[in-house]
Amino acid sequence: MCKRFQGGRSLGWVLVFLLGLGTVGVPSMAYAVTEFAAPSILAPPNALDPGGAVNEMLGDSRTLDLVDRALGASSLSPDYEAELRLMRGSILLDSGACDAAVVELSPVLELTPEDDEALAKRGLAHLCLDRYEDAGRDLNAALALDTDSFWGRFGRGWLYFRVGRLAAAEQDFNVVVRVAADSVLGYWARGYVRLTDRKYEDAIFDFDRALQLGSGFSSAHMLRGYAFLGIGERERAIGDFDAALTYDNAEPGSYIGRGFAHLKLGNVDEAQDDFSVAVALDPMSALAQEGLGLVLNDRGDFEAALESFAIAIDGKPRVDAHFGRGVARMETGDVSGAIEDFEEAIRISPEYAGTYVNLGIAQARAGNDALALDSYAKALQLDPLEKTAYYNRSLIYRRQGLNDEAIEDLTELIRISSYSAESYVDRCIAYYDMSNNLGTLSDCNTALSIDANVRRAHGIRGLVFSRTEDYRAAIAEFDAEILVRPRHPAAFRERGLVYGKMGDLELALADADTALELDAEYTEAYIDRGNIFKRKGDTMRALADYSAAIDLEPLAANVYRERGELYRELGEIDKAEADFVMATALVSAGDLSSSQPVQ
């Protein structure tokens, strides 16, 4: 049986009030980095039994039978009949039969009009049925009879919670825990309100107290897990979700919370497992689908992510689902759809800087740098430490030739990143693009002095040495980069280019082959290998590689020109002329070549 509270009656009916309540938020992720923002809403558990177990209907049915037999007796006194009907109404309310509870409790008030418990419980039954006006009337009447009525304060607290008056709800639950200091339910309810109000430390205090008073309380463990997530204590959150699942392994809310904790810790496999279980338990759970969508985004499976986000949104505005779907849309080429989603996320929750950053990225991809710069500025107004805003704004400045402004943003990024090796690498890349070899080498050297295994630094130094024709030094740098990133195709491609400049075509070919083994859709590597085959006189294989590059990048003007020359050498004049015409048209349209150094 469930644990019993106040008057020996179980509270399984509390489940009814919590189903369908607004969600409490899930942490959001910025597009450019896999970092959650602070939680904005709380995951709604699908079953919150204050006793820590599902209400045992068989036991209630037996009790109901006993009450019915007692009510069938003749010559009942009004007070005894009222007590029996109050007990019967409480059992019905406990089982979620709220309409029947209202019917049963009304005669109690005819027999004993000043029964504050009957008034409060009928008010709770009305609240269960979303009859807020009737609920408020009964609950206030109960409190007029007894300002410290446990059930009156408890019920009105939930009413305030339902209408979003969190401060008033907390005040009522303060009275509940004052008049019943050993009430598990009182601390649990106040903790829930505080959690929703983002008072995470206070919520943890209440759930601690609830668990001290009543062990085996699965929903208290689960909700405390969400509070730990709110203060960044992911490992402790996982501990609570684990505990909740030992008592109730069919509660989606615990899997959802643990999934977000794992995702924050970078445990993508574990996160996907948890969200998948939650979706299996409740396929229409918006939060479970949001979490699964975020995992699928992280894995690059954006089409599947879009399916999850569609279920999560389903016509209802949900900030995190719009945020995640915006990322998935952007990665699948639907930039206008991404902009719509980010704008909707901002409309729902305008205080999160990361959404403005992602909106700026989408606007920049749509070719509207002015709007993108405005979005980055808004992000930095909300959070002056938002790293991705500085980084992405610097990209626009560099594209516009505003090199001083770009360096200023990247210098600020270094400062707020606590002078991390990665932030120096970001600036050294900017210096490289500006042909500032000294600045490039200085920042790359600093990055490597901080972290000898930092990614890209050796590769960028290799590009500088290749540019200055110090090919042996360049090869040494690319060798070092490959040691750090043995599965990264760009390092092999760049080393192959240097081998080609040195005239070692076999080593150049081997590196191009490796780059394509690592990434079969690496356009530039096909172009490079085609160039090598052309130098070796292997015209047919060169043609095959140029054609593969064009299939991947149909707007690469220079590749059409190279392929056209080969067709002309083979005497296939019509094909050659067609390629030359295409190359000329693309150059006129401003698309010169897709072959750019890739880091």
The pLDDT value given to residue 27: 28
3-state secondary structure of 419: coil
Tokens matching residue 375: 């979005």
Sign for the CA dihedral angle at 330, 335, 341, 343 comes to positive
Q: How confident is the model at residue 428 (pLDDT cuts 50, 70, 90)?
A: very high
* CA 520/CA 361 separation, integer angstroms: 27
The pLDDT value given to residue 10: 30
The pLDDT value given to residue 148: 93
Q: Is the pLDDT of residue 82 over 50?
A: yes
Sign for the CA dihedral angle at 156, 159, 163, 166 comes to positive
- Which range (22-26, 256-260, 355-359, 370-374) has the least confidence? 22-26
Largest CA distance in the chain: 115
CA distances for 484 relative to 71, 379, 471, 478, 518, angstroms: 80, 34, 20, 10, 15
Residue 535 burial (10 A CB sphere; 0-12, 13-18, 19+)? middle
DSSP state of 48: -
Tokens matching residue 315: 């016509």
- Which of the two residues, 504 and 598, has the higher pLDDT score? 504
Sign for the CA dihedral angle at 42, 162, 286, 32 comes to negative
The pLDDT value given to residue 84: 86
Q: Is the pLDDT of residue 209 over 90?
A: yes
How much of the chain exceeds pLDDT 70, in percent? 86
Best-predicted range by mean pLDDT (2-6, 75-79, 396-400) = 396-400
Q: What is the mean pLDDT of residues 97-122?
A: 89
DSSP state of 33: S
pLDDT digits (tens, 9 = 90+) for 560-583: 999 999 999 999 999 999 999 999
Distance between first and last Cα of the chain: 63
- Which of the two residues, 227 and 92, has the higher pLDDT score? 227
pLDDT digits (tens, 9 = 90+) for 211-243: 999 877 889 999 999 999 999 999 999 999 999
Q: What is the mean pLDDT of residues 90-116?
A: 87
Helical pair 489-501 and 471-484, crossing angle rounded to 10 deg: 160
357 closest CA partner among 41, 37, 47: 37
Tell me how far the alpha carbon of residue 465 is from its chain's centroid.
41
Best-predicted range by mean pLDDT (3-7, 495-499, 552-556) = 495-499
Helical pair 403-416 and 421-433, crossing angle rounded to 10 deg: 170
Burial readout 44-69 (b: 16 or more C-beta within 10 A, e: otherwise): bbbbbbbbbbebeeeebeebbeebee
Q: Is the pLDDT of residue 45 over 80?
A: no
Q: In this structure, how many other beta carbons lie within 10 angstroms of the beta carbon of residue 94?
A: 24
The pLDDT value given to residue 43: 36
Residue 506 burial (10 A CB sphere; 0-12, 13-18, 19+)? exposed
The secondary structure of 135-185 as a DSSP string is: HHHHHHHHHHH-TT-HHHHHHHHHHHHHTT-HHHHHHHHHHHHHH-TT-HH
Q: Is the pLDDT of residue 47 over 90?
A: no
In the CATH scheme, what is the code of domain 1-163? 1.25.40.10
* CA 448/CA 477 separation, integer angstroms: 12
pLDDT digits (tens, 9 = 90+) for 510-563: 999 999 999 999 999 999 999 999 999 999 999 999 999 999 999 999 999 999
Q: What is the mean pLDDT of the chain?
A: 86
Contact 207, 239 (CB under 8 A): no
Q: Residue 380 is inside which H or E element, if any?
A: helix 369-382
Helices and strands in the chain: count of H runs, count of E runs = 32, 0
pLDDT digits (tens, 9 = 90+) for 470-491: 999 999 999 999 999 999 999 9
CA distances for 522 relative to 411, 465, 597, angstroms: 32, 24, 12
Tokens matching residue 466: 């290749």
